């Protein structure tokens, strides 16, 4: 499985630290390759990462900005992407298991405990997608709406 990672200027330090952690744990990580500067805009990163996740079957994405909110909103505009803004391990689990999320957004200024960030990311990566009928039905309804509109 490939993990795409991207951040705006407010998340770049956490991105590098998290990339090292994930590579040390044997995962294939690809930075989306957009350079950071103080004037960068989070939608550019979210859209590119979303498109890469959509094009690469069985991949996941991790986005990092100051709050995680803007990245999540922007990523969710990409057809086929379901992005959870996670601030807890439970958010990461439910985003993947209940909602079939394929991208997770993290706020570098919200979740400042690196061990918690690692636990959230590990949970997101290792959790299986929806398996209960009620969750599958809800994700399918979202997909159908997206296709029709």
Q: Which residues are catalytic?
A: 65, 98
Chain centroid to CA 117: 12
For helices 12-24 and 114-126, the axis angle rounded to 10 degrees is: 60
How far apart (Å, rounded) are the C-alpha atoms in residues 87 and 89? 7
Backbone phi, psi, residue 6, to 5°: -155, 155
Backbone phi, psi, residue 147, to 5°: -65, -35
How far apart (Å, rounded) are the C-alpha atoms in residues 147 and 100? 16
Continuous segment of H or E residues that includes residue 6: strand 2-7
Specify whether the CB–CB gap between 52 and 61 falls below 8 A: yes
């Amino acid at each position: 499985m490939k993990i795409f990672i991207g951040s705006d200027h407010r998340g770049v330090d956490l991105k590098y630290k998290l990339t090292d952690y994930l590579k040390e744990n044997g995962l294939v990580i690809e930075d989306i390759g957009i350079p950071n500067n103080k004037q960068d805009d989070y939608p550019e990163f979210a859209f590119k990462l979303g498109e890469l996740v959509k094009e690469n079957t069985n991949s996941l994405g991790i986005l990092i900005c100051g709050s995680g909110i803007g990245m999540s909103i922007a990523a969710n505009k990409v057809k086929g992407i379901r992005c959870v803004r996670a601030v807890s391990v439970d958010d990461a689990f439910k985003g993947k298991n209940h909602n079939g999320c394929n991208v997770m957004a993290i706020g570098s200024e919200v979740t400042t405990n690196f061990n918690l960030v690692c636990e959230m990311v590990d949970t997101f990566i290792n959790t299986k997608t929806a398996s209960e009928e009620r969750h599958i039905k809800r994700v399918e309804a979202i997909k159908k709406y997206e296709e029709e509109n």
